[in-house]
C-alpha cells in the first residue's frame, strides 16, 4: 500500500492506494502552525479509525505547495508509518519533458496532474485544477509539458469581491438558479460560476490555437471542479483524485529508477 499526500494551500489530501485502487481518503485543512505532534495524532487516529494496517504501507509520496507544512507532515508520516517519504521536487524522475523557463518554479501538483492525465488521455491534452488557484497546464502532441496558466481561484476571487465591495455579501458556492440573477446573492453566484466556466471555455480554445491542435483532451480536478465544470460548454471529464493518482505513479517510477541504479 502507498500513502499519497497532496498538500495544498487550502486543504491537504491523504490517499491510501493498493496498487492503483484508492482504499482510504481523508482531507484536512492546511494549517501551517500545526505541530508535528498534531499532524502525527491526526494521521494515527485516522489509521486506527479506518483499521489501516500500517505495516502494509510500503512507502509514501508527498506533493506540497506549502513549504511550512511539508516538514511537519513528513515527520508525522515517519512517526506513524516509519518510512521516509518521497518529496516531489525538481530532480525527481517524472517521465515528462518539461518545457518551461525555470523548472524549480513548477508546482509539484501540476507535475503529478500531468503524469496522471498522460496515462488516460490522448495527447495533446490540458489539465484544469480548480483549487485555491485555478491552473491550466498543457501537454502538447509530443508529450511535452508545454506551459501553464495560473488564475486567481474561484473561492479566492469571490471572497475578495465580498471583502472589498461594501454592499456585496459573502456567498456560498452552489448551483446558480439561472444565468441572470434576480438578487445580489444569485447575481454574484451566477457571475462566479458561469463567469469561470466561460473563461475556461475561452482559454481552452486559445490553448488549442497555441498548440496548433484540432482536438484537445481536457480533464479537471481540484476541490471546486464539480461546481464549475458542469457549466462549461467544453467536454471536460472530472477526476477528483487525479493529483493523488499522479503521485502514486511518480512513486512507482522513482522506485524503479532507484532499483536500477
- Extract the runs of DSSP E, i.e. beta strands, from the chain: 2-7, 11-18, 21-29, 59-64, 86-87, 97-98, 125-130, 133-139, 144-152, 217-221, 237-238
Tell me the β-bridge partners of 254. none
- φ/ψ of residue 208, rounded to 5: -60, -45
C-alpha cell at 60: 509514501
Tell me which residues are annotated as active site: 109
- Residue 26 and residue 211: Cα distance in Å, rounded? 37
- Residue 86 and residue 117: Cα distance in Å, rounded? 21
CA distances from 184 to 8, 22, 190, 200 (A): 31, 41, 10, 24
Residue with the three cell numbers 512507482 = 252
Amino acid at each position: 500500500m502507498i500513502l499519497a499526500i497532496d498538500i495544498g494551500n487550502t486543504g491537504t489530501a491523504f490517499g491510501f492506494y493498493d496498487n492503483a485502487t484508492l482504499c482510504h481518503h481523508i482531507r484536512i485543512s492546511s494549517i501551517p502552525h500545526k505541530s508535528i505532534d498534531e499532524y502525527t495524532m491526526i494521521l494515527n487516529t485516522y489509521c486506527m479509525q479506518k483499521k489501516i494496517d500500517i505495516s502494509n504501507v510500503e512507502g509514501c509520496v508527498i506533493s506540497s505547495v506549502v513549504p511550512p507544512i511539508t516538514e511537519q507532515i513528513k515527520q508525522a508520516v515517519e512517526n506513524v508509518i516509519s518510512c521516509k517519504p518521497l518529496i516531489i521536487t525538481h530532480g525527481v524522475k517524472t517521465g515528462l519533458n518539461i518545457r518551461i523557463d525555470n523548472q524549480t518554479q513548477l508546482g509539484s501538483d501540476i507535475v503529478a496532474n500531468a503524469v496522471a492525465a498522460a496515462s488516460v488521455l490522448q495527447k495533446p491534452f490540458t489539465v484544469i485544477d480548480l483549487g485555491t488557484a485555478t491552473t491550466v497546464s498543457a501537454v502538447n502532441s509530443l508529450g511535452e509539458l508545454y506551459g501553464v496558466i495560473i488564475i486567481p481561484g474561484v473561492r479566492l476571487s469571490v471572497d475578495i469581491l465580498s471583502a472589498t465591495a461594501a454592499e456585496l455579501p459573502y456567498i456560498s458556492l452552489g448551483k446558480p438558479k439561472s444565468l441572470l440573477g434576480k438578487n445580489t446573492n444569485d447575481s454574484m453566484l451566477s457571475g462566479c460560476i458561469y463567469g469561470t466556466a466561460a473563461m475556461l471555455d475561452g482559454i481552452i480554445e486559445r490553448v488549442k490555437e497555441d498548440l496548433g491542435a484540432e482536438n484537445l483532451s481536457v480533464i479537471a480536478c481540484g476541490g471546486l471542479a464539480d461546481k464549475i465544470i458542469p457549466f462549461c460548454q467544453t467536454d471536460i471529464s472530472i477526476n477528483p483524485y487525479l493529483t493523488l493518482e499522479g503521485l502514486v505513479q511518480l512513486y512507482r517510477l522513482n522506485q524503479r529508477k532507484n532499483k536500477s541504479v
